[in-house]
Amino acid sequence: MNTVILASVTFIYLASFVVFLVGGITGRGSWGRSGRIIAIMGLLFHTVGLVMRWVESHQAGMGHAPLSNFYESLVFFSWAVCLFYLLYTLKDAKALIGVFMMGVAFLLMAYASFSPTVDTRIQPLIPALKSNWLIVHVITCFLGYAAFFMASSLGIISLMKKDSAEIQASVRDMLEKSLKAGFILFTLGIITGSVWAHFAWGRYWGWDPKETWALITWFIYASAIHVRVIDGSVSRRVAVITIIGLVSVLFTYFGVNYLPGLHSYQ
C-alpha cells in the first residue's frame, strides 16, 4: 500500500512542478502560491507513505525505519527536498525555486517508483545496517543533501537573474542560509557515519569511495563558506562553487554506486 501512495506522490510533485513552471514563465504570483499548496499536499501524502512503510515493515516482522535501501533513500531524499523548499519559502512561494526543487523531488520519486532497476520491496536489515546510528546518519546526510540542492539551485538562479538587485539580495540570503544549514547537517551526517563505521567495521574512517566522496563534497562546500568570508557576501564565485558542489553531491549519492565499496546500494 505504501508504494501506491508514494507512487501517487510522484504525480502530485509533477503537478506542483508544472504549476511552478507556468508561474516562473508568466511571472504571476497566483501560480506560485498554487504550486506551493500542491507541494504541501504532496509532502503530506509523502509523509503518510513513509509512516505507512515503517508500520508495514513492523507488520512484516522486520521493523525498521524506511531508510535502508536505494528505494527508501530516494523516497526520503525527495521528501527532504520538498521539505526544504517549503521551509525556505514560508513567506513567498518563489516559483523559480519551486521549479528547481519540485523538479528534483519529482525526478527522485519517479526514479524510485517507476525504474525497473529499483526494488521497492521492504527488505530485512543485514547485520551492518542494524544500528540506530544508521537512522541518524541517513537522515542528517539526506537533509544535508537537500539543503545543498537548495543552495545550488539558488546559485544557478542567482547567476541567471542579474536584473533585479532586490531579487538577487533575497536569493543570495536564502543561498547563504541553505548553505549553512546544509553544512551543519552534512557535517553531522559525516560524524554520525564515522561513529557507525567505528561500531560496524571497527574504524571511523576507511577511505571507502562513499566516505571519500562525502569528504570531497564537504571540502567543496567548506570552500564556498570560506570564499563567502573572503568576498564579504554571497558572490558569483560562491554561487559557482555551490554548483560544483551539486555535481559532487550527485556523484556522492549516485556515482559512487558504480565504484566498489561498502556503501554501494544493492
Considering the rule CB under 8 A, would residue 55 count as an interface residue with other proteins?
no
Which of these segments, 82-90, 119-127, 147-155, 160-168, binds other proteins (CB under 8 A)?
A: 119-127
Considering the rule CB under 8 A, would residue 90 count as an interface residue with other proteins?
no
Considering the rule CB under 8 A, would residue 219 count as an interface residue with other proteins?
yes
What residue type is 110 in one-letter code?
A
* Dist. CA 125–CA 117, nearest whole Å: 20
Cα torsion angle, 111, 115, 121, 126, sign: negative
What residue type is 128 in one-letter code?
A
Cα–Cα separations (whole angstroms), residue 248 to 36, 133, 148, 244, 245: 28, 24, 10, 7, 5
Grid cell of 170 as nine digits: 533575497
- Tell me, what DSSP letter sits at residue 124? P
Considering the rule CB under 8 A, would residue 240 count as an interface residue with other proteins?
no
Q: How far is the CB of 3 from other proteins (least distance, A)?
A: 18
Considering the rule CB under 8 A, would residue 184 count as an interface residue with other proteins?
yes
Which of these segments, 25-33, 72-80, 122-130, 149-157, binds other proteins (CB under 8 A)?
A: 122-130
Alpha carbon dihedral 8, 88, 111, 23, in 10-degree steps, equals 70
* Dist. CA 206–CA 184, nearest whole Å: 22
In three-state form (DSSP H/G/I as H, E/B as E, the rest C), the secondary structure along 140-167 is: HHHHHHHHHHHHHHHHHHHHHCCCCHHH
Within 143-182, the residues that bind other proteins by CB under 8 A are 180-181
Considering the rule CB under 8 A, would residue 124 count as an interface residue with other proteins?
yes
Considering the rule CB under 8 A, would residue 128 count as an interface residue with other proteins?
yes
The CA-based angle 203-261-246, given to 5 degrees, is 100
Question: Which member of 58, 130, 161, 162 binds other proteins (CB under 8 A)?
Answer: 130
Q: How far is the CB of 186 from other proteins (least distance, A)?
A: 10
- Tell me, what DSSP letter sits at residue 90? S
Q: How far is the CB of 199 from other proteins (least distance, A)?
A: 5
Nearer to other proteins, 92 or 231 (CB): 231
- Tell me, what DSSP letter sits at residue 264? -
Considering the rule CB under 8 A, would residue 212 count as an interface residue with other proteins?
yes
Question: Which member of 90, 91, 116, 127 binds other proteins (CB under 8 A)?
Answer: 127
Considering the rule CB under 8 A, would residue 207 count as an interface residue with other proteins?
yes
Query: What count of residues does the chain have?
Result: 266
Sites of contact with other proteins (CB under 8 A): 123-124, 126-128, 130-131, 180-181, 183-184, 187-188, 191, 194, 196, 198-204, 207, 209, 212-213, 215-216, 219-220, 222-223, 226-227, 229-230, 248, 256, 259
